[in-house]
Amino acid sequence: MMKATSQLFLKMIRLAVTVALMSAACRASVSGVLSYSDPYTVPIYGKTPQCVDIPDDLRLCYNVGYNQMLLPNLLEHETMAEVKQQASSWVPLVHKNCHPTTQVFLCSLFAPVCLDRPIFPCRWLCEAVRDGCTPIMEAFGFPWPEMLTCDKFPQGDMCISMTQPNTTEATRPTGPPSICPPCDDEMKTDTMLDNICASEFALKSKIKEVKRENNDRKVILQKRKKMLKAGSLKKKDLKNLVLYLKNGADCPCQQLENLGNQYLIMGRKVDKQYLLTGIHKWEKSSREFKKTIKKLKSYKCPAFDTVFK
């Protein structure tokens, strides 16, 4: 999947460059694209853009299909440390496959390919990803961030696109999700670690009771819990911890149907509520699960940062 996405991404980059070279109106088109912020025509933020290697711990875009990126990037991140911190929060969203071009869209901004001029994603690509991913983001208490407002992006030929302008409606999901987003039980070590790192806290616990409350599900944990990642969670909060499955009253969540099991539970605080961001059965017979828990003891997560504002 990663290889196919990378190849498509490079094809679209090459297509955009070819259009720019062959079009008689090339200069006018590029000028229109760069009017978004025109960051690479002059030094910005006190720094001239440089081509740098994409580090292997930039998980969002490493192996995306090219080895170097522009820094500062198209989101005005000046240092690689800032890029890593901001990008890490998006990795779980890519895992959710909310839209087939999510990684292409994000990496075109976080780790833009090194070209003479920057090429931004097309507005309709942004809209397609936004419409596909917003329902999942809302399940985790995140709105679509202002820094990715789609109106900021160009609509002309000189932009990155893997959809057509009139296909946004076709890509928009309809009806309830096939599974509640936090209940996706994919047992892969990297995926689980990314989800744990993107969550504020993680713990081991049984579930006492599940109730429906408006459009949410209220998950009441048993008193006995084992903290794996505390984050901002205090001991007094842990004692009577109640989590909410946001907009999860009607979507399926198999883990909440069997209250006799132990679970790996992840969450984060939004306003005054604790939201459930992930739940996995505590599966000792699973090699991937055992590997995850063992690795978590020494694993250093990127600094948690609320980027979805």
Q: For residue range 117-157, list pLDDT tens digits in order.
A: 888 999 999 999 999 999 889 888 889 999 999 999 998 77
Please, which pLDDT band fits residue 303 given cuts at 50, 70 and 90?
low
Q: Exposure of 57 by Cβ count < 10 A (0-12 exposed, 13-18 middle, 19+ buried)?
A: exposed
Q: What is the CATH number of domain 2-171?
A: 1.10.2000.10
Whether 30 has a pLDDT exceeding 70, the answer reads: no
Instruction: Give the mean pLDDT of the chain.
Output: 80
Question: Given pLDDT bands bounded at 50, 70 and 90, which one contains residue 104?
Answer: very high
* Token code pair at residue 188: 């892969």
Is 60 exceeded by the pLDDT of residue 45?
Answer: no
Q: What is the mean pLDDT of residues 43-65?
A: 81
Pairwise CA distance, residues 281 & 289, whole Å: 9
Give the model's pLDDT for residue 54. 96
One-letter amino acid for residue 294 of the chain:
K
pLDDT tens string 163-194:
454 544 444 444 445 789 999 877 889 889 98
| Mean pLDDT of the region 217-226 | 93
Helices (H), the chain: 2-22, 26-34, 80-88, 91-95, 102-110, 123-139, 168-171, 189-198, 235-239, 287-296
Residue spans of the domains in the chain: they are 2-171, 181-296
Q: How far apart are CA 73 and CA 189, in angstroms?
A: 30
The secondary structure of 68-92 as a DSSP string is EEEES-TT---SHHHHHHHHHTTHH
In CATH, the number for domain 181-296 is: 2.40.50.120
What's the pLDDT score for residue 33?
34
pLDDT at 57 over 70: yes
Task: State how far Cα 187 lies from the chain centre.
Answer: 18
| pLDDT given for residue 177 in this prediction | 52
Say whether 181-296 and 2-171 share the same fold: no
Distances from the Cα of 282 to the Cα of 95, 128, 129, angstroms: 21, 36, 33
Question: Could you tell me which of 49, 65, 76 has the C-alpha nearest to residue 1?
Answer: 65
Higher-confidence residue: 8 or 155? 155
**Can you tell me the mean pLDDT for 275-304?**
88
**Which residues, at least 6 apart from 85, have a Cβ–Cβ distance to it below 8 Å?**
302, 303, 305
Res. 107: pLDDT tops 90: yes
Alpha carbons 55 and 71: distance in angstroms, whole number: 12
Among residues of the chain, what percentage have pLDDT more than 90?
44
- Residue carrying the six token digits 């001029």: 117
Side chain identity at 297, as an amino acid letter?
K
**16-30, 35-49, 216-230, 268-282 — which is least confidently predicted?**
16-30
Q: Report the length, in residues, of the chain.
A: 309
